[in-house]
Structure 1
Amino acid sequence: MSNHQTEADPAVISLLLELRLPYIAENLIYVAGDRVITDPLCKPFSIGRNLICVYSKKHMLDDPALIEMKRKANTRSLKEMATLLRSGSQIIWIAPSGGRDRPVANSGEWEPAPFDPSSVDNMRRLADHSGPPGHIYPLAILCHDIMPPPLKVEKEIGEKRIISYHGTGISVAPEVSFSNATAACENPEKAKEAYSKALYDSVTNQYDVLKSAIHGKKGLQASTPVVSLSQPWK
Structure 2
Amino acid sequence: MQDPLTWHWQPFGASALLLEVHPVGQLANRAVLALAEHVRATAPVGLIAAVPAINSLLLTFEPLVLTSAALQAWLEPLLASVPPAPAEPLHIHELPVNYGGAAGPDLVAVAEALALTPHEVIDLHTSVTYRVMMLGFAPGFPYLGPLPAALHLPRRATPRNAVPAGSVAIAAGMTGIYPTCLPGGWHLIGRTPVTLFDPHGDPPALLAPGDGVRFVAC
TM score, norm. by length of structure 2? 0.21
The structure carrying a bigger helix percent of its residues is 1
Structure having the higher Rg: 2
More strand by share: 2
